Amino acid sequence: MVRQSIGAKLGIGIVLVAAFVLSHGLNQGLYAQDASKPTLEKAFPSSSKCKRCHERVFEEWETSPLSKSIHSPAFRASLDAFLQSPAGKDKGLCFRCHAPHVREFPEQAQLFVDQAKSGDPSLDGVACAQCHLIKQVDRTKQPPEPKYELGSKTLYGPYKDFVQNLAHQSMELGLFQKSDLCLNCHQSVPSAANLGKSNDLLGSWDQSKAVKSGKECQTCHMPEQVGESANGEKKRKTANHTFPGRIGKLRQEAAKLDVQTKIEGDKTIVTVKVQSLVPHSLPTTHPAWATVVLDLDIKGKNLKTVYTDKRVYGRVYQDAKGQKTSFDFEAVKVLEDTVLKPEELRVETFTFPTPKDTKTFDVEVILNYAPITGPAPFLQRVEAESSKGSQDPVFQAIEIVKFAENVSIK
């Protein structure tokens, strides 16, 4: 009995000591996140906090594609497809661009997934802190990698004459006027690294005439304007934060068309010169459902369409089973690449029977960002995820440039 009592006491003692060691270890960060590392919320404050002082900038950003980087139905549907693929073992991979602060908190990747899937995340994707806490970009990495200073109260930006305030420290950084700032998300796709240069997003942008003339990404996608950077501040030159591109009037400057129609008896030839005016690929295709389409429509008597044709600019992928896929993370190779290269002039020729029983006919040529395409289950999922259903903007074409003329038949 005595021995059992001593043994029991000894066992209890061991349990208590183990419990103390485990508890102490957890408190000291031996089994948990380093106590010196700030929480996700403190390291990357919500953009709603920035709105208090930067209302104009916040309202611009809120209308931009960046604000919806983990909110959009297309992203959520694509994320589901990614997580079900072999590449999906790395849950944080998509977020390295769509919510880049996951790079600093990889152990919380599931939180980012859950937030995106909720459809109404409280977590920001690409917002104020995700950019203005970047101190440098390491271009030796592929894709380039942003470097953050966790726990820093200094926000970086392009202004020399920043206003002193109690919310944070400010520091001018030349990086914010250079394309390097954008490259960590916009140069290549981490999940398609095996495709190499055949799947780059920008193409040989750094060899373009625009870049050689001194233009940076910000020149077009964050154009200068006059306004307040912070509430009540003296107006000055500031950067626009709507990030115009596919969305916004900037797309109307993305290309121009030169159309020539030649009637040769019963045969008519329409030659379309498509001149890309942007210093990067058009489209910057990711994934394969991001395409630009050139549509030709010929209307004869009573404006009845007598001929249509099109050219698609984008990429076609093949998966490991030899099937076409819309997702580059499933792709093992690029089957077809018709993307317009930086500042490229592409000549397209259309030949069709000359319209009969009419003295004139109409030629209409439109270059559009095409609606989202892909397998029916994927499109159905996007539609189901959207509060607007089939009326969601991703299902609508977005016009870049249009040409129309009436041609006489002599």
206-259 pLDDT tens trace: 999 999 999 999 999 999 999 888 898 888 899 999 999 988 888 889 999 999
The helix or strand, by DSSP H or E, that contains position 86, with its residue range, turns out to be none
Overall size of the chain counted in residues:
410
Read off the pTM.
Answer: 0.86
**Beta pairing, strands 224-227 & 236-239:** antiparallel
Q: CB count, 10 Å around CB of 239?
A: 20
Interval 70-102: pLDDT, tens: 999 999 999 999 999 988 999 999 999 999 999
Q: Which residue is associated with the tokens 């018709």?
A: 338
Task: Check if the beta carbon of residue 187 is closer than 8 Å to that of residue 202.
Answer: yes
Sheet order of strands, 360-369 included: 305-313, 292-299, 360-369, 398-408
CATH: 3.20.20.70, 3.40.190.10, 1.20.140.10, 2.60.40.2360. Which one for 251-408? 2.60.40.2360
For 179-219, the pLDDT digits (tens) are 999 998 998 888 888 888 888 899 999 999 999 999 999 99
Q: Strand, coil or helix: what is 339?
A: coil
- Cα–Cα distance between 46 and 36 in angstroms, integer? 21
